Amino acid sequence: MKLICTACSESYPSDLAVQRCSCGEPVELELIRASIEHGNVWERFGGFFPYLSKEHIRNFSLGEGNTPIVEIPSLSQQLDNQIFFKNETQNPTWSFKDRGTLTGVVRAVKLGFSRIGTVSTGNMAASVSAYGARAGLETTVLVRQDIPEEKIYPILIHGSRLIEVDAHFGEIYRKSLEIGERKGIYFINSDDPFRVEGYKTIGFEIADYFSFNPEIDYIVVPTGSGGLLRGIMKAFRELKASELIREIPEFIAVQAEGCSPIVSAFEKGLDEVGSIDNPETIAGAIADPSPPSGNEILRILKKGGRAIAVSDNEILEAQDMLAREGLFVQPASAASLAAVKKLREDGMRDKRIICILTGSGLKVPSAAEKIVKKREKLKIQKTSIDNLEKIL
Ligand SMILES: *Cc1c(COP(=O)(O)O)cnc(C)c1O
Ligand SMILES: [Zn+2]
């Protein structure tokens, strides 16, 4: 099998630890054609993961994937579109990152690495730390200096080595790959080709749920580095190449206004994504100031699809709407519903839409606090035991 550049089509043998093309753009594993078996998502779609054995799943999986798709008719009605939610909060470390971490860890082990790492402050750091512990690998997490304290312990608890680096996020990303190569550390970063491979399972599960005739108009994807959107897209491309579906749905990449380099480039019709100096948003999980797969996202969206930005207020409002329906997601995830709401205001009607709810609300307690404090009635009441009956 080959790794192929998403931009210039240069190819590399897949037994080399190539993570980016010499032209600077991301590489991906060549398109795989397969058929479908029985079992869980890794088994059913095993043909699309020829590098993954049953042994790998037994040794490294924490039960990622197989997440529910939830339809909430009242929200669909309110927003004049049929909306389905892919609930990725139900993964082992409460975000979709686990799907790609599993394939990334297998990749690292197969290449003979005993040390892995990642560059992240949030969900990916927690995920790689958990899977690193599961696999018995030495795990290094590189973060920026301004990491909030609430994010530190979910990383350290798995025994990872946590290093604060005084640099921009994009710089740490590039350096990690360079140093990793010399030091024998496989950095499973945001758009590592095998991390992206794992994300394909989301696309397979969606197609499966709709019996391979999804007739979906849009898949709405909260987008930071671009890895997630690339993975779901690759799943649909492979299903089409295997003649299992007829149409590839269009994608909507959603970013937060306070950090939307992909949206800016898309709106200006550019081929290359620039970088943002001071990202400022409550949706930290999608605030990637220089998205390493940004140009590839532009290449994908140009063939059909769009990119939109939503404000922090719109995000919090959407998070509130979802919470009122029983879904507690983090701000980055609520951005998907915020985008649908915004598009509806621009006249979008009667579309079938999938919103990817990427991660759990428990990850960002401060956002929940903001929402609750805005709602008058949500307070703790106190009473003596004698007075309890009266206030009830
Ligand atoms: C990582 C992440 C994203 C964005 O994924 P990318 O692959 O970086 O585009 C979106 N939402 C949440 C909750 C995440 O953790
Ligand atoms: Zn290239």
Query: Would 362 be classed as within a structural domain?
Result: yes
Asked if residue 254 is part of any domain, the answer here is: yes
Residues of the chain with pLDDT under 50: none
- pTM value > 0.85: yes
**How confident is the model at residue 151, as a pLDDT?**
86
Give the pLDDT confidence score for residue 305 in this predicted structure. Answer: 96
Give the atom of ligand 1 at the shortest distance from the alpha carbon of 223. Answer: 9
Question: How far is 106 from 14, CA to CA, in rounded Å?
Answer: 13
Q: Does residue 361 lie in a domain region?
A: yes
The finding on whether 293 has its CB within 6 A of some atom of ligand 1 is no
**Could you tell me if residue 321 is inside a domain?**
yes
In sequence order, which residues have a C-beta less than 8 Å from that of residue 122 and are 6 or more positions away?
Answer: 151, 284, 285, 363
Whether ligand 1 lies within 6 angstroms of the CB of 93 is answered as: no
- The range of the structural domain enclosing residue 239 comes to 69-91+198-374
For ligand 2, the distance from its centroid to the CA atom of residue 114, given in whole angstroms, is 28
Domain count within the chain: 1
Q: Mind giving me the DSSP string for 59-74? A: HH--------EEE-HH
CA 73 / ligand 1 centre spacing (Å): 26
Residue 332 belongs to some domain of the structure: yes
CATH value at residue 363: 3.40.50.1100
- Other CB atoms within a 10 A radius of the CB of residue 44 amount to 17
> Could you tell me which residues come within 8 angstroms of residue 379 by beta carbon, excluding any fewer than 6 positions away?
none
Q: How far is the CA of 32 from the centre of ligand 1 (A)?
A: 24
Q: How far is the CA of 224 from the centre of ligand 1 (A)?
A: 6
296 part of a folded domain: yes
Q: Does residue 128 belong to any structural domain of this protein?
A: no
The partner residues of 360 in beta bridges, in order of sequence, read 329
Identify the pLDDT of residue 58.
95
**Structural domain contains residue 38:** no
Nearest ligand, CA of residue 4? 2
The reported pLDDT for the residue numbered 214 is 82
Q: What is the pLDDT of residue 145?
A: 84
Distance, CA of 269 to CA of 143 (rounded, Å)? 32
Q: Please state the atom number of ligand 1 nearest to the C-alpha of residue 363.
A: 13
Contact of 128 with 151, CB cutoff 8 Å: no
Give pLDDT, residue 39: 86
Give the CA angle between residues 193, 204, 286 to the nearest 5°.
55
